[in-house]
Chain A
C-alpha cells in the first residue's frame, strides 16, 4: 500500500503531526 502513495499522502495517513491530541486531554 505505501508504495502506491506519494510521500506527503503517506505522512498525512501516518498521522505524523496530528494536533487533535492537544484537545483530547
Chain B
C-alpha cells in the first residue's frame, strides 16, 4: 500500500500528466506549483495544504470559519484525507479555468451546495447556506424574507416539484442563467498564469 501511495504522489506531481488531465499547460502547472508551495508551507512546511492553510490563503486568517470554504476544501480534497495534495489542487482549480465547460463548473457547484452529500439539494440545505452567508457577512434578512427566497429558489430550480433539486434540474437551472449562477466558478487569473504572475518561475522541474 505504501508503494502505491508513493507512486501516486509522484504521478500527481508530473506536470505532463497533470497537463493531460486539466486545462493547464505544463508551464502553467509549474507556475501553480509555486502558488501551491507558498500555500502549503504557510503554517507547516509539509508539502500539503491543510484546512488552516487554505483558510489563511482565502481570508488572510487561519481562524475564520466558513461553511463555503469548508465545502470547497472538501471538494478539493478528493481523496478525503484532510489535506490537499498538489494533484488535487491542480485538478480542482482546472474546473475554475475560463476554458472549463459550463457543465463541469455546474457539477462542481452542485456538489458544493449538496451539503449533506445525498445527491440532491433540499430546502434545509438552502436555508443552512443562507444562514451561513448572513453569519459570514453584514447582510441582515428576517426569517420571512429567507423563506421567500427559498420559495423562489425552488420555484425556479425544482422543475419536477418534488421539493428537492436533482443534478438534472440543476444543470437546466444553471443553463438558463449561467452568468449569475456560475460567476464564482471562474477564476480569471487562471487564463494566463505565466504572464499574470511574472514572479512565478518557469522552473525546470517540480521538486519534492
Contacts and interface: CB of A to CB of B under 8 A. Distances in A.
B183 to A, nearest CB: 5
Interface string B71-107: 1100000000000000000000100100000000000
Given A21-B58, A25-B60, A16 B152 contact: no
Contacts, number: 88
Nearest to A22: B57
Contact of B141 (A2, A9, A13): A2
A25 B34 CA distance: 13
Contact of B130 (A10, A12, A18): A10
A5 B184 CA distance: 16
B66 to A, nearest CB: 7
A20 B189 contact: yes
30 contacts: A2-B139, A2-B149, A3-B149, A7-B129, A7-B150, A7-B153, A8-B109, A8-B181, A10-B133, A10-B149, A11-B68, A11-B113, A11-B129, A11-B130, A11-B133, A14-B133, A15-B184, A16-B66, A16-B137, A16-B184, A17-B71, A17-B72, A17-B184, A18-B184, A19-B187, A21-B58, A21-B60, A23-B35, A23-B187, A23-B196
Interface of A: 2-3, 5-23, 25
Interface of B: 35, 39, 57-60, 66, 68-69, 71-72, 93, 96, 109, 112-113, 126, 129-130, 132-133, 136-137, 139, 141, 145, 148-150, 152-153, 156-157, 177, 180-184, 187-189, 196-197
